[in-house]
Amino acid sequence: MSSIYPPLETQRFILRDFVESDWQAVHAYACNPEVVRYLPFGPNSEEDTKNYLHTEIKSRRKKVRDHFTFAIALKSDKQVIGSCRISISDRNKQEASIGYCLAKEFWGQGYGTEVARKLLEFGFKQLSLHRVFALCHPKNKASMRVLIKVGMRQEGYLREYEWSRGEWQDRLLFAMLDREMMQMQLLNIELEKV
Ligand SMILES: CC(C)(COP(=O)(O)OP(=O)(O)OC[C@H]1O[C@@H](n2cnc3c(N)ncnc32)[C@H](O)[C@@H]1OP(=O)(O)O)[C@@H](O)C(=O)NCCC(=O)NCCS
- pLDDT 10s digits, 127-147: 999 999 999 999 999 999 999
Cα–Cα separations (whole angstroms), residue 91 to 95, 97, 99:
6, 12, 18
On whether the CB atoms of residues 153 and 176 are closer than 8 A, the answer is yes
What is the model's pLDDT at position 13?
Answer: 98
Averaged confidence pLDDT in the chain: 95
Q: How far is the CA of 10 from the centre of ligand 1 (A)?
A: 18
Nearest in space to 159 (alpha carbons), one of 170, 168, 167: 170
Domain that holds residue 134: 8-193
- pLDDT 10s digits, 93-133: 999 999 999 999 999 999 999 999 999 999 999 999 999 99
Q: Residue 36 domain-assigned? A: yes
* 180 phi/psi in degrees, rounded to 5: -70, -35
Number of domains in the chain: 1
What is the model's pLDDT at position 105?
Answer: 98
Residue 162 in this model has a pLDDT that exceeds 60: yes
Tell me: cis bond preceding 138? Omega within 30 of 0 counts.
no
What is the model's pLDDT at position 1?
Answer: 46
Q: How far is the CA of 107 from the centre of ligand 1 (A)?
A: 7
Instruction: From the CA of 109, give the closest atom in ligand 1.
Output: 11
* pLDDT bracket for residue 2 (50, 70, 90): very low
Q: Residue 3 domain-assigned? A: no
The CATH number of whichever domain residue 143 belongs to comes to 3.40.630.30
Q: Any residues with Cβ below 6 Å from ligand 1, and which?
A: 35, 38-39, 99-102, 107-113, 136, 140-143, 145-146
Instruction: From the CA of 146, give the closest atom in ligand 1.
Output: 13
- pLDDT 10s digits, 30-43: 999 999 999 999 99
Q: Residue 17 domain-assigned? A: yes
Mean pLDDT, residues 170-177: 98
On whether the CB atoms of residues 63 and 3 are closer than 8 A, the answer is yes
- Asked whether the whole model's pTM tops 0.85, one would answer yes
Q: Residue 1 domain-assigned? A: no
Q: Residue 109 domain-assigned? A: yes
Residue 3 in this model has a pLDDT that exceeds 70: no
